Chains A and B, each alone.
Chain A
Amino acid sequence: MDELNRGGVAELAQQLRNKKISAVELSQHFLKRAKADQHGSFLQNGFNEEATFRQAREADALIAKGDASPLLGVPIAHKDIFVTQDFVTTAGSQMLNGYQSPFDATVVRNLGVGHGGAGMVTIGKLNCDEFAMGSSNENSAYSVVKNPWDASRIPGGSSGGSAAAVAACVVPAATGTDTGGSIRQPASFCGITGIKPTYGRASRYGMISYASSLDQAGPMARSAQDCALLLSSMCAPDLDRDSTSLDIAREDFSKNLMTPLKSAGKNGALKIGVPHEWSMGTTARGKAKQIDESISLNISNALKQLQQSGAQLVEIDLPHAHLAIPVYYIIASAEASSNLSRFDGVKFGHRTSSPVDLIDMYKKTRTEGFGDEVLRRIMIGAYVLSHGYYDAYYLKAQKIRRLIAKDFEAAFQACDVIAGPVAPTVAWKLGDKADDPVANYLADIFTLPASLAGLPGMSIPVGLDGANMPIGMQLIGNYLYESLLLNVAHQFQTITSHHTLKAGGVV
């Protein structure tokens, strides 16, 4: 069974096609693991065995008919920010406790059984920060998620349940969503691989909106190869349901995985841009103290290995990247304050028990239904959009957002991908920053710029620190260059074994 646990998406699919195991057997196996998981990755009410086995039986029937789709019958679990017909959807919030969606998110459909989906079987729903707001998963209304590498630490967020479940081999793959780093940072903290595609690649339909102009779905797994397989099924135009969906045909993101780095660049050898503002390794300049030394060291080593594989390193400038934190927290909060207005107790979700009047119903419903961080961001958002403040905050933030995107545009003239840290630290201790929202926000410094620019970004494991906590390296690509990111990541993973390391105690 150990082999099954550690099996990647591609391997499990192979075993299914070879009839070494059935989808029903696989589902039983992983469902059992998920229910016994001690890290709190899954939501307690996030299971529906009947639905899981129904999907598995359908997958088995298709396999029996000779369907050789690459993901058919492989188990997956979804971040509870995606609405699902077969499972309760809570978005990690009391506001949606017990909420049943009448439809599946497009991403869930694209990956799932039937409707032309990839045929993956849903094990259940994964814990996350409430409405995807947070960097530690401590903002879930349901339970704390523990990092499988050290149960006293956070798994990262907001896709913390997804990262922890994959790292603990409770499922071979999971979906996540990334608004300001919510796939990349927990992937980094839990030692797995995750990718956020270009904004608009994955449909946002059925992904409960936090910040509409930033939210993107992406896969989280234990290798770049698995991520490529998953992303190929997740991403497809969804123009009838999502106006921000890109009108770009499905792509096979696995197609370039084997390209050697010496020829992966647009002009021959892959050029990796290293922003000197992010000060590390070979190009360290200035503020190195902001980043844990072990992180700089491991990233520097990883870059050297890439260099040895044929890549070239070039120094680039991202002069406005350091403004990403205020810009992000203004724009994301503004959008969130409006996106979350629909949770008013009128149509669905929580409603306070005995309001005296309409205003009282709104106030009590929302105060009871939302957690502190959500309330905080709604207040920030309402403030920055208010009459008289709009120009100074929201409008200015939008202008700087364009400057950040232009920085990347210029940088990609000189390089093919950008590499740097995912976060300035490894996963911190549970409770460490729980009372300090600003400290939490500051930890997003390296993931926010790509989010604001709408660029694809990923995190790959590059080693462990002195406390045996995983360190991730971020790769940022130009628009629609996901396959190049995955190519670089896969090439790295073929010459290194960081991604195969397992947290102690994980069997």
Chain B
Amino acid sequence: MSTKLVQGYEVVIGFETHAQLSTQSKIFSRAPIAFGAEPNTQACAVDLALPGTLPVMNKGAVERAIQLGLTLGSHIAPKSIFARKNYFYPDLPKGYQISQFEIPVVQGGEVSFFLNDEKKTVRLVRAHLEEDAGKSLHEDFVGMTGIDLNRAGTPLLEIVTEPDMRSSDEAVAYAKELHKIVTWIGICDGNMQEGSFRCDANVSVRKPGAEMGTRREIKNLNSFKFMQQAIDFEVRWQIDQIEDGQAIQQATVLFDPDTGETRAMRTKEDAADYRYFPDPDLPPLVIDEEWIARVRSEMRELPRVMAERFVRDYGLPEYDAAMLTQSQQMAVYFEAVAKACSQAKLASNWIMGDLSRRLNAQEMTFEQMPIKAATLALLITRIQDGTLSNNAGKQVLDALWVEGGDVDTIIVSKGLKQMNDTGALETIVDEVIASNADNVAQLRAGKEKAFNALVGQVMKASKGKANPQKVNDLLKIKLS
């Protein structure tokens, strides 16, 4: 692993990500989940912790955890335990949060991704199921706090990594990859603004080879941009502290996007004793092989598996396969094009090149791709069979992007058909040789550049339509 040092320090980052699971109802009740609903309209008796209510596990949440575990090559615990994390807070209705503590449902596994063409792997410690708390609303009330329990009981999967990341770039790339995976397999909608995918980064620094430094945890990073800014600030702050001879105190910090700074919320000394113990209202979560097999059979093809298949079946470079499987829409699109034109590498080049560039420029996603896969496949076929030059192909793409339509019609209407007819080309070549005697003389004198000038003259004379390869061949024959 190449390590980028900052002022001589190695940066060490581990992540804890809370992915809100995309179930219809809550993790321990049958209340629906909807973001932005009127306060306290999405909370039932169980969510309000009314006397006598009890939790019942939502199987859909468990299946989503199993899906992630299968995706990341983790061990799915045959028996995991729900525990109670006890603390008082007004938006925590029961006075405890149900979470997995000692034995989580997903154990181990890894996330692999490319950072600047270099393959990176981050190991997972675990992923465990838990319920979200409600929200305390301080802004809308004077001298009081409003409590909205709509979010209470929303299922979360907390995904915890080893401290394997060595830069903010790597951390962000990991977060993006994890985000891609959870949205790909459909267990989380990935909406970061609404808090469906929230990251906490544990950051420390050390001199290379030294013991792990003391870490500070940056909570609730809800955009990739803030993630990078927050970690970069935190790293500089910690190095400054150490350089000033100060020790780092273990602490939880918040990132303020307005100032671009992190500040401590609480230190280890105020750490609460959560009095964890197994929740006696919930028996151990038992997952047998059959359940795992059923979940596996219902899962869509994973990006990793799909990428491997692209390399195997289409002969793509590993890098191309990894890039094409960044989003499911892109991967599906690629495969449709590759199958229709039998030119996988060209399809990959067009998709990763021109199409992605255009989408990015217009801040569009692959879901909004205006050109159908069959259309791109035909365009590639027309280049391949010599009907279009590469340049003309790009002109056709321009037209398709803006006006839509049909490849062959555009080639005709814009007059982009490549000149392949040997007789017609010979006529032009002969004329060019006749009227460019000095170039011919220079070439004969050994000046190779003169050949290119002659090719250019032929292309000009054909208004760019001549097939360059054929022009080359003809010129070589005529001048040899």
Which residues in A have some Cβ–Cβ distance to B below 8 Å?
82-83, 89, 91, 96, 99, 101-103, 105, 204-209, 211-213, 239-244, 334-335, 337-338, 340-342, 344, 346-348, 358, 362, 382, 385-387, 390, 394
Contact = CB atoms under 8 A, between A and B. Distances in A.
Nearest first, the 10 A-B pairs at minimum CB distance are A341-B95, A212-B280, A385-B275, A213-B280, A206-B52, A83-B52, A342-B49, A208-B51, A387-B273, A346-B90
A338 B273 contact: no
A205 B54 contact: yes
Contact of B283 (A103, A243, A385): A243
Contacts, number: 102
B88 interface: yes
A341 B90 contact: no
B56 interface: yes
B84 interface: yes
Interface string B37-59: 00000000100111111111100
17 contacts: A83-B52, A96-B51, A101-B50, A204-B54, A205-B52, A205-B54, A239-B56, A240-B30, A240-B56, A244-B54, A341-B86, A341-B94, A342-B51, A342-B94, A342-B95, A347-B147, A390-B276
B277 A341 contact: no
Q: Give the size category of B's interface with A.
A: 20 to 34
Chief secondary structure at chain B's binding surface: loop
B281 A212 contact: yes
B393 interface: no
A346 B96 contact: no
B93 interface: yes
Nearest to B55: A243
Contacts of A390: 275-277
A358 B56 contact: no
A89 B51 contact: yes
Nearest to A83: B52
B83 to A, nearest CB: 10
B212 to A, nearest CB: 23
Interface of B: 30, 45, 48-57, 84, 86, 88, 90, 93-96, 147, 273, 275-277, 279-283
A338 B86 contact: yes
Given A83-B51, A102-B50, 14 more contacts: A83-B52, A101-B52, A208-B51, A211-B280, A212-B281, A243-B54, A243-B281, A243-B282, A338-B95, A341-B96, A342-B49, A347-B50, A362-B88, A385-B275
A28 B248 CA distance: 75
Given A341-B86, A341-B96, A385 B54 contact: no
A82 to B, nearest CB: 8
B273 A386 contact: yes
A208 B54 CA distance: 10
Contact of B50 (A241, A344, A348): A348
Nearest to B283: A243
B274 to A, nearest CB: 8
A169 to B, nearest CB: 29
A91 B277 CA distance: 25
A393 to B, nearest CB: 11
B51 A101 contact: yes
A329 to B, nearest CB: 15
Nearest to B49: A342
